[in-house]
Amino acid sequence: MAELAFLDAVSAYLGSQLLTPAVSSGRLGVVEPFVAADLPGVVLSLDESTRLRIGLGERADLMTGALPVRRTIDLAEPRLPEDPSFPLLDAGRRRLILPHGGQVRADGTEGALGAADLVVTLGATSFVVVAGVPAAGEVRADAATGLLEFGAPLPATGVIEARYFLGSWERRAERITGRLRVQGCASNAADAASVLASAIGHLLSPAARSAIRLLPSMTLTALSAVTHHPAPAGVAPVTVAHFRRHATFAFEFQHLIDQPESSGGIIGRIPIITRLDALHVDRATGAIQRAVETVP
């Protein structure tokens, strides 16, 4: 989701910068301050967000390289999530099909996979990746089809985790515009103004465009006065009394999504039989005869 990705990106960027007064990473994000230890802090929120269409058809781009993928398979129900009718484990429980074929090495090249290219675990057990016939505790991978062959049958329960790399995948983009609210909170007015000024300076600096991936624009549109927020009366937990100042930014952000669809492996062969309707003329009688010809 582009909105959540944008808030995470802004939070990570500001968390990597020096704010005055200093703000710990746990005090910068989407959570309001509740106790005195939460101050000073910076609170992020979206006042407004609009999805924009990328273009005609909203097509995805075909990417190549080495996309890291992590998948888990429940051995009690080893089926493709998108299609429960597709089994991922054979009857002998030694051949497991990963949700994706077309795997590559960590550097993006094709060939036999090794320990740096494929990690397969079952609980605390890590299987050794081998190129030959696997023994117990070992696994051999067919990178093209995404097939894993184990040296011993897998148990009836447990969760297999596989980490591997795909050589090609589709990338789509979500583009949004909106208004970002950044609030500086502190125990006194001076610190509230100072911590917000630091955040504004970092968000408007050229470094923000490169640190926050695909952020074409960020413009300051509003800046409030410092206000006092008293602690409301009531049963704990209640928000702590503090001073606060907020700024509003107009932004445009594009979120890239690299999430390949599950394939269930490569289909090796599809039998096709073509049936043709043929018309023949009997030369002796002149009658037209119809026949069906089968072409494998």
Per-residue pLDDT reduced to its tens digit, 26-48: 899 999 898 889 999 999 999 99
Across the range 109-135, mean pLDDT stands at 94
CATH of the domain at 7: 3.30.2000
113 vs 143: CA distance, rounded Å: 7
225 pLDDT more than 90: yes
Q: Quick check: is 277 in a domain?
A: no
Residues 246 and 181 in one domain: yes
62 vs 19: CA distance, rounded Å: 40
Q: What is the per-residue pLDDT for 57?
A: 46
Q: Quick check: is 118 in a domain?
A: yes
Chosen domain end from 146, 170, 194: 170
53 vs 193: CA distance, rounded Å: 37
Q: Quick check: is 189 in a domain?
A: yes
Place of tokens 């006092």: 228
Residue 31, both tokens: 């959570």
Domain that holds residue 155: 60-170
89 pLDDT more than 70: yes
161 pLDDT more than 50: yes
Residues 44 and 182 in one domain: yes
Residues 69 and 98 in one domain: yes
Q: What is the per-residue pLDDT for 274?
A: 61
Residues 52 and 180 in one domain: yes
The number of distinct structural domains making up the chain is 2
Closest CA to 180 of 66, 9, 24, 18: 9
171 in Cβ contact with 60 (< 8 Å) = yes
Q: Measure CA 87 to chain center.
A: 24
| pTM (two decimals) | 0.64
Q: Quick check: is 65 in a domain?
A: yes
Rounded mean pLDDT of the chain? 86
Residues 166 and 64 in one domain: yes
54 pLDDT more than 60: no
Across the range 260-268, mean pLDDT stands at 52
